[in-house]
Amino acid sequence: MVDPSLHHLSRLTAVELRDALASGELSARETTAHFLSVIEAGNKQLGAFVTITAEQALQDAAAADGLHAKLNREGRLDELPVLHGMPTAFKDLTDVAGVPTTHGSAALEHKAAQEDGALAATLKAHGVISLGKTQVPEFGLTAYSENRVAPPSRNPYSLGRSSGGSSGGSAAAVAAGLVPFAPGTDGGGSIRIPAGACGLVGLKPGRGVVPSGAGAGDAAKLVVAGPLSRTAADAALLMDALVPRNEAPDGGYLTHVGRAPEPLRIGLSLDSPWAGAYPFQIEEEALDALTLGTNLLEKAGHSVTEAGIRYDNRYPEAFTTAWTAGVGSARIAPQREALLTPLTRTFRRRAQQRSALKVNEALHFLRQFEHDTVTQYSAWDVILMPTLAQTPRPIGWFTGGGHSGEQWPSEWAGDADEDYKRQCEYAPWSSMVNVCGLPAISIPVHTTAAGLPMGIQLIGRAGSELQLLQLAAALDVSFDR
């Protein structure tokens, strides 16, 4: 039974919770038990978790308390791991030892992972306690977290709407207070999109900054791991565990996150490499967020001017080729192919029909696109735009299913190409950042009249992760629910 006096724990920032655990004010066991009770109470409605690993989490918490007691007796509490006893969760694309990894797909056999994947191993070594696995789209392919494995991940601000994807379950869990923070992975917007939808700070680090975030079979080097959190300081704390000490700023990210950066030249751009293939409309709420974000940045001493960016119109085809190449080679038994969602099945078939030469041409083009785009961005310190072009979308909106119940029907109504088009119109400023290998952050700045969060995205230069976190801290916009 959880002590009722611990109910405030979900309102603590991750940094505050870390300090309480490190000092011994809170034990890892009582903290873990509290968050497990919150998950039990809220997840059925939210759909954030696919698997809850309560028994293992409590065992790990007991071990963490044992370590704390030992180090305390020996006067060595300064040797505690940086995230000692901190509860979190991993998206269901990341292997966690002893827990099935569904990859969001009913077409796979869901066997327990033999060992931790690199991301889980890194964070566990720094002291985190995993409470379970969170909802994702099939193979992480989409900007919404709905699949045939479990109920859709819903937005805590409006349960009829999506929490985004592919780190949608993790974002919903953080925003609803089911965990204090969580790692996400981002190959085309999968941290920033759900952060924007759920009113969180979501940082996509630059290519190679977080070694454990890279994915096998990612020929275009798009995927990187990063934090989802309620504050910039909490994101900085998680970065201190994700980034090797010798690669991080002196003293770490958290030490410096509260320092305001020097005045920056910020280029505001609504241009998108998807505009030619999928002309999109920007909703008023997204423009309102951009205006508010611009005003906050100018008030903080930065100059914001319009930036005209030209993108090569061959980008959509090349990105789509690279983005979907992996699903073409996924090991799926022929008799289970019919269990794939229509979007995955369509893009898998196309990937299998595509020649290796075509894929190599796409990868070569994307490297040239990276060079050309980074060169244009370099005229400014930071590039600014809305995170999303539209408010969080209703559950079922992308697939055309319009289904809002707990489980999906056996046949989805949606057309794969219409689904993909809608995603590109919803998040037209995400994927090119992955292609360029640059860091980018989504920062919540606005609440719509309907109570939905909207954010801005800032794209920095290579190596500017700390600067982006400092900008987020300086804006200091709270989206506590």
Domain that holds residue 119: 4-475
Predicted pLDDT at 265: 98
Active-site residue, from 27, 91, 124, 163: 91
Domain assignment present for 316: yes
Q: Is 212 annotated in the active site? A: no
Q: Is 406 contained in some domain? A: yes
pLDDT at res. 400: 86
Give Cα 454 to chain centroid, integer Å: 15
* 224 closest CA partner among 440, 370, 459: 440
pLDDT for res 202: 98
Clarify whether 190 is annotated catalytic: yes
Of the CA atoms within 13 Å of residue 34, those in its CB half-sphere come to 23
Tell whether 481 is covered by a domain.
no
Catalytic residue among 153, 166, 431, 442: 166
CATH number, residue 301: 3.90.1300.10
Q: Which residues fall within 8 angstroms of residue 217, CB to CB, at 6 or more apart?
A: 325, 326, 329
- In this structure, is residue 391 part of a structural domain? yes
Tell me, yes or no, whether 480 lies in a domain: no
Instruction: Determine the pLDDT at residue 479.
Output: 47
pLDDT at position 7 is 67
Position 44: which residue type? K
Q: What's the pTM value of the predicted model, to 2 decimals?
A: 0.96
Instruction: DSSP letter for 176, please.
Output: T
Domain count, the chain: 1
Nearest-angstrom CA–CA distance, 154 and 145:
8
Q: Which is catalytic among the residues 163, 190, 431, 464?
A: 190
3 state DSSP class of 184: strand
Of the candidates 97, 102, 100, 79, the residue with the CA atom closest to the CA atom of residue 22: 79
CA–CA distances in Å: residue 100 to residues 32, 95, 225, 276: 21, 8, 20, 41
Is residue 91 flagged as an active site residue?
yes
Distance, CA of 211 to chain centre:
16
Quote the pLDDT of residue 405: 39
pLDDT of residue 217: 76
- pLDDT value, residue 18: 98
Q: Specify if 100 maps to a domain.
A: yes
Let me know if residue 339 belongs to a domain.
yes
pLDDT averages per 10-residue partition of the chain, 481 residues: 63 97 98 98 98 98 98 97 98 98 96 96 98 98 97 98 98 98 98 98 97 81 97 98 96 97 97 97 98 97 97 98 94 95 96 96 98 98 98 95 46 78 98 98 97 98 98 75 40
Token pair 């989802």 is found at: 228
